[in-house]
């Protein structure tokens, strides 16, 4: 597998190098020179999830890693169910929250951890990542206890739910966390700055576990195949995927799946009030506004890092950007959608509720919609309880951390202070 830097196309790397570098020169994203196409999609969709996933990832990686290695990575990373749950006659939710940290990020983080463990050998690495909610827990869980990997997670103080926070800030050992007194975009900027600083990048053997890392994206491709397989078993053909979107890694993975031949008709990029992409798709101007805090906090991103990949896929495949429809919902619409789903007998959370409502605005003709359920409702218990007037019980994974002490350091959005802190605790 060959990948090139979208900012500097002359920088070409293989998968192993891309995984370990994370970002290319000048923060450029790595992008595949070619996208493999599956010859017999119907036969592939007929396979069980794990067997199909081995073939999907093998199409990308077998030449470099060997199919046997790919199979082992899949067996270790994907050990949980991916149900497609019917909500009504036109919509179903692909529940991606049945992994160990109850969020879709488990797919990418666990696969990346296995890849890093395979490729790094005995070298000591540092994973630096920013989270607007679920990435932190998934990455911390995936890398926890690995001898040769330190993890540092940055997150915006006071802008993620307490239960989300406790899932990754209470572990200790090789997991280090920093509450940044700013928003997610500032956290993301600190990560990018660290990769530009040779002292940090080289001195700490820096890598990123955000969705900018290609291994995370490849893993996420696989559940789109599962969504279509289950939808087709239910007799659905014109499938529209509605993706709750923050940093746009999830949508990028879906577009890769379509490029491989998966019959998805089109996509909806569903956002909250942080609506840079919907406005761009409508008016053609990229004008990020200041990030605002919402009840769907994992999507509180105004400058999504993965958007260049979205445009690169469309360009490479000759697709118009109109393949993606942007929909932005207000807080009031989010609350109404959450209540409407509950009245229909489906308990959701704010992010999936946004994607679900976007389908009601956009489906036409014989189209049926699949929206991604990216987190367990209990991860947003405060919001869900308030909006639905219920007392949602905690699943065991969350109950286990509810009373634990948060171990985070607190820093301003200042790179020099972060740099000093990193060398103090990681060396």
% of the chain residues with pLDDT over 90: 85
Residue 60: pLDDT band with limits 50, 70, 90: very high
For the chain, where do the domains classified as CATH 3.40.50.1100 start and end? Answer: 82-100+214-388, 124-204+403-426
- What gap in Å lies between CA 158 and CA 165, rounded to an integer? 9
Q: CA nearest 327: which of 284, 370, 269? A: 269
- Cα separation, 147 vs 168, in Å, equals 18
Reading the block at residue 303, the tokens are 């400058």
pLDDT in tens, 117-153: 888 778 888 999 998 777 889 999 999 998 889 999 9
192, pLDDT greater than 80: yes
> What fold, for 82-100+214-388?
Rossmann fold (3.40.50)
Task: Enter the tokens of residue 345.
Answer: 């007998």
Q: Specify whether domain 124-204+403-426 bears CATH 3.40.50.1100.
A: yes
Q: What percent of the chain has pLDDT over 70?
A: 100
pLDDT tens for 166-175 read 999 999 999 9
Band of residue 101 on the pLDDT scale cut at 50, 70, 90: very high
Q: Cβ-count burial of 246 within 10 angstroms (0-12 exposed, 13-18 middle, 19+ buried)?
A: buried
d(CA 140, CA 170): 10
- Average per-residue pLDDT for the chain: 94
Q: Are 310 and 254 in contact (CB under 8 A)?
A: no
Q: Is the pLDDT of residue 92 over 90?
A: yes
Structure tokens at 350: 């704010």
């Amino acid at each position: 597998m060959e990948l090139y830097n979208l900012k500097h196309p002359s920088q070409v790397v293989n998968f192993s190098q891309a995984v370990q570098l994370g970002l290319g020169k000048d923060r450029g994203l790595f992008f595949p020179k070619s996208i493999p196409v599956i010859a017999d999609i119907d036969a592939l969709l007929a396979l069980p999830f794990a067997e199909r996933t081995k073939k999907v990832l093998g199409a990308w990686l077998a030449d470099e890693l060997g199919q046997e290695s790919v199979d082992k990575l899949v067996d270790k990373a994907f050990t949980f169910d991916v149900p497609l749950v019917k909500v009504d006659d036109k919509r179903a939710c692909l529940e991606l929250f049945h992994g160990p940290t109850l969020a879709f990020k488990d797919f990418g983080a666990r696969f990346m951890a296995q890849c890093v463990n395979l490729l790094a050998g005995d070298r000591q690495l540092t994973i630096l990542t920013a989270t607007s909610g679920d990435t932190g827990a998934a990455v911390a869980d995936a890398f926890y206890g690995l001898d040769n990997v330190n993890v540092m997670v940055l997150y915006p103080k006071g802008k993620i739910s307490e239960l989300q926070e406790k899932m990754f800030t209470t572990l200790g050992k090789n997991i280090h966390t920093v509450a940044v007194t700013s928003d997610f975009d500032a956290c993301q900027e600190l990560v990018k700055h660290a990769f530009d600083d040779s002292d940090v990048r080289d001195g700490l053997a820096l890598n990123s576990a955000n969705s900018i890392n290609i291994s995370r994206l490849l893993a996420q491709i696989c559940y789109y195949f599962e969504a279509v397989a289950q939808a087709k078993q239910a007799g659905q053909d014109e499938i529209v995927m509605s993706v709750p979107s923050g940093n746009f890694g999830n949508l990028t993975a879906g577009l890769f799946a379509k490029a491989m031949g998966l019959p998805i008709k089109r996509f909806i990029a569903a956002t909250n009030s942080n609506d840079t992409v919907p406005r761009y798709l409508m008016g053609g101007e990229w004008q990020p506004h200041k990030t605002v805090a919402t009840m769907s906090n994992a999507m509180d991103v105004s400058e999504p890092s993965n958007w260049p990949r979205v445009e690169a896929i469309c360009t490479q495949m000759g697709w118009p950007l109109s393949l993606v429809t942007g929909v932005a919902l207000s807080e009031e619409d989010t609350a109404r959608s959450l209540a409407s789903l509950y009245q229909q007998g489906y308990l959701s959370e704010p992010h999936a509720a946004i994607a679900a409502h976007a389908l009601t605005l956009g489906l036409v003709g014989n189209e049926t919609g699949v929206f991604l359920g990216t987190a367990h409702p209990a991860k947003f218990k405060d919001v869900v309880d308030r909006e639905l007037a219920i007392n949602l019980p905690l699943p065991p994974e969350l109950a286990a951390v509810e009373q634990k002490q948060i171990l985070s350091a607190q820093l301003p959005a200042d790179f020099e202070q972060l740099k000093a802190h990193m060398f103090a605790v990681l060396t």
